[in-house]
Copies of this chain bind each other. A is one copy, B any other.
């Protein structure tokens, strides 16, 4: 039984006089936050932001991460775990058999009720190289789960600009673009100059020495000479997918 149903039941009981004023307030609080001691699960966020709390799994113990995912799954239809190891997934699937694991993207996904996708508002996810694909998949799957159609265009970095130019029409067909690139991150600027849609840029930590774990791409993208480019954290595919989805649902 989902969180939304619980709340409606409580309101019905209150209307029917089965709950006092104090009891309904207490009930609301109880329903809105699950306190696990080491975590405060915030169910209202699902309503406020359109999707249940996402679990960043890295840095949590396997037991903590698994328990949080389970509690959220019991309350909400869809759940997303990011930066999840396969080891965690092996524990999670004993509790949530329908959960799927995406290896490259390191995502655990439980999608009970897929959200509708508007084919006239696509998100293009573009990478400079093959090594950027895992981050791109994190962004693409996140966006899909949050109800967006995604066009994937991978390995079209600026070293061979005609590969990119051959895809311009396809890119322009999207409502907004997520550009994922390591090294110098130049792809964001070039794409930003070619289209009149917003570009969400994700620097990746891919590259040789003076890349300094993504710093070169990060600075490159922040200094993009194209307007219409904004940047999320290094390797933060999830954040880009999430941001893209929020923008894509504006009307």
Contacts and interface: CB of A to CB of B under 8 A. Distances in A.
Nearest to A193: B159
Contact of A129 (B37, B175, B225, B243): B225
Nearest to A172: B48
A209 B214 contact: yes
B225 A161 contact: no
A239 interface: yes
- Copies of this chain, count: 8
Given A48-B196, A190-B158, A229 B251 contact: no
Interface string A197-225: 11010010111111111111111111111
A50 interface: yes
A95 interface: no
A219 B184 contact: yes
Interface residues of A, number: 94
A184 B154 contact: no
A154 B233 contact: no
Contacts of A72: none
Contacts of A81: none
Contact of A160 (B45, B129, B159, B246): B45
B189 A250 contact: no
Given A211-B219, A220-B219, A60 B247 contact: no
A230 B218 CA distance: 12
A221 B231 CA distance: 10
Contacts of A240: 230
Given A160-B42, A184-B225, A225-B128, A209 B213 contact: yes
Contacts of A239: 208, 227, 229
A50 to B, nearest CB: 6
A155 interface: yes
Nearest to A204: B209
25 contacts: A33-B166, A40-B163, A44-B162, A59-B130, A59-B206, A158-B193, A159-B189, A159-B227, A160-B193, A161-B161, A176-B247, A184-B185, A185-B220, A186-B220, A208-B239, A209-B218, A210-B214, A210-B222, A210-B234, A211-B223, A215-B219, A216-B223, A218-B222, A227-B243, A247-B247
